[in-house]
Amino acid sequence: MADHFQLRLAESRMLAPAVRHMAFERADGAPFAFVPGQFLQVHFHYADGKPTKRSYSVATIGAGDGGTVARIEIAVSYVDGGAATNLLANLREGETVDASGPYGRFCLMDADANRRYLLVATGTGVTPYRAMLPQLEKLAARGAEVALVYGARNETELLYGEEFEDFARKHPHFQFYACFSRATRAQPRAHDRDGRVHVALQELKPDAAHDIAYLCGNPDMVDQAFALLKEAGLPVPHIRREKYVSSR
């Protein structure tokens, strides 16, 4: 159930030139309960006093199904002239924001019994999958495979790339495809792909009988990947979507 609370910024770092990783703690010291894949909302006011809110997926690794974490990590991609961007880009460690959550059902369901998980993201849309890593690790026990197909313009915008590469090295059932739409890596790696996520997704030959897909991030990418997967025969309930639309 969603709760309202204040979040204090404990730590932050830049993940990319315009993406800030922010680690918050609840100001009341309580732990935060969420299911990986869920998001929270940050509440604030426009300059004219009108209340508004924005959504951010929780990136924290550590919560099991319905478990709790001490820190709420998010990755905020700066939007030119954005109201929440202005608030969050200028927030200093120790300062607080109003928030509520968790929300959303973009989660790996207990009932998921599929053999392959196609996880697709662009930009900060990769954060729910970071939170899901402990659950994804467990899928190996029942022989399931996971392919994370992640689109970025270039290597500086590949968020948490080394963490996913490291996870892939340790877990053979997990493959990480980095898809670069503008510039390839200075030193390309085996699973790098040129172009948008659809290139790697097609190469993976989506299979209606065994696959479930999760799509997160840019709404255009989500729509195009949805069309591709539907065309491949995946039933709509097996194509889970989270679009990062501006929520004003």
Ligand X SMILES: Cc1cc2nc3c(=O)[nH]c(=O)nc-3n(C[C@H](O)[C@H](O)[C@H](O)COP(=O)(O)OP(=O)(O)OC[C@H]3O[C@@H](n4cnc5c(N)ncnc54)[C@H](O)[C@@H]3O)c2cc1C
Q: How far is the CB of 216 from ligand X (least distance, A)?
A: 8
Q: Say whether residue 160 binds ligand X (CB under 6 A).
A: no
219 binds ligand X (CB under 6 A): no
Query: Tokens for 56?
Result: 């951010």
Cα separation of 140 and 173, whole Å? Answer: 6
Measured in degrees and rounded to the nearest 5, phi and psi for residue 31 equal -75, 165
List the structure tokens of 49: 């006093």
User: At its nearest, how many Å lie between ligand X and the CB of residue 163?
Assistant: 16
Rounded to a whole number of angstroms, the minimum distance from the CB of residue 11 to ligand X is 17
Please, which of residues 18-47 interact with ligand X by CB under 6 A? 39
Residue 100 in contact with ligand X, rule: CB under 6 A:
no
153 vs 51: CA distance, rounded Å: 34
Should residue 75 be labelled a site residue for ligand X when binding is judged by CB under 6 A? yes
Contact call for residues 228 and 196 (beta carbons, < 8 A):
no
Cβ of residue 103: shortest distance to ligand X, in angstroms? 7
Give the contact letters, 117-146, x = binds to ligand X (CB under 6 A), - = no: -------x--x-------------------
Is residue 54 a contact residue for ligand X (CB under 6 A)?
A: yes
- What ranges in the chain are assigned the alpha helix state H? 83-89, 127-138, 161-170, 197-203, 219-231
